[in-house]
Amino acid sequence: MTSALRLENVTVTFDSQVVLRSVNLDIKSGEAFVIVGPSGQGKTTLLKTLSGLVTPQDGRVFVEQNDWLTLSNKERLPLLKKMGILFQKNALFDSLTCLENICFPLRETTQLTEWEITKKAESFLDAVGIPHARDLYPDEISGGMQKRLGIARALALDPKIIFYDDPTAGLDPITSKKIISLIKTLQQQNNSTVVAITNDMNRAYQMADRIAMVVDQEVIVTGTPKETENHSDPRVRQFVRGLLQGPLTALDPVL
């Protein structure tokens, strides 16, 4: 199985404070890779580094075997078009309807006709189960529907690699389970690679082929959900079981 994303000896610092140190990571094409860990330890920094939004101080970042840091902006463009990102707050345009939110990236980056753009946007609204919200604005729909809309917009350009920053944040357990089920269904339909952050271990187990934990400037690849549940590292055990006592108790945020 080929690599979709790879980090080699990556170190990321902000204001001379090390967030990630000498990280090596290989995410395979077509897998769902879930990032967990205590708050403030660098999960979002890791996701942004993988997606090219954060430039590391040391190391190499590969996107589909391409050395990201050596590419020109022109060479990066076709790779960027293969990526979709759902930010934690959804980053929807409040002044655009649900349909227009999905149309926006299609208008900006494709040569499709207006009719083709509208039809494609409508098909994505249908795929995420909110066709009835076509002409509503983001503030007129629920949090769960906003998340579905964010997913639809992230998928609008048919990306092969999709990043989800805490896709169930602030949602109730039933809606959260439905959102992860939707993400998995769309991943399987499109044979895409998913990289997601969550602090909900139930949702991590539901979504992941493999899991990694970010803690103490490290990225610990804990393996499959079953392997993660039975991991020997005391930091992993404490986190996934929600234990009050353990090595994470006195952990200071680095971000």
To the nearest whole number, what is the mean pLDDT of the chain? 91
Give the per-residue pLDDT at 31: 96
The residues that bridge with 28 in the sheet, in sequence order, are 3
- Would you state the pLDDT for residue 124? 87
pLDDT at 238: 94
Cα–Cα separations (whole angstroms), residue 70 to 55, 64, 81: 11, 14, 18
Reply yes or no on whether the pLDDT at 126 is more than 90: no
pLDDT of residue 250: 65
Total residue count of the chain as it appears in this document: 255
DSSP codes of every residue in 162-227: EEEESTTTT--HHHHHHHHHHHHHHHHHHT-EEEEE-S-HHHHHHH-SEEEEEETTEEEEEESHHH
Is 192:183 a contact under the CB 8 Å cutoff? no
pLDDT at 108: 86
Q: Kindly indicate the confidence band of residue 190, based on its pLDDT and cuts at 50, 70 and 90.
A: confident
Global pTM reads 0.88
CA–CA gap between residue 19 and residue 13 (Å, rounded):
5
Mean pLDDT of 112-134: 91
Dump pLDDT digits (tens) for 43-92: 999 999 999 999 999 999 999 999 999 999 999 988 988 998 888 777 78
pLDDT of residue 255: 63
pLDDT at 183 over 80: yes
- Residue-range domain boundaries for the chain: 1-81+192-255
Q: What is the pLDDT of residues 16-36, one digit of tens each?
A: 899 999 999 999 999 999 999
Mean pLDDT along residues 144-156: 87
Residue 211 predicted with pLDDT over 90:
yes
CATH class of 1-81+192-255: alpha beta
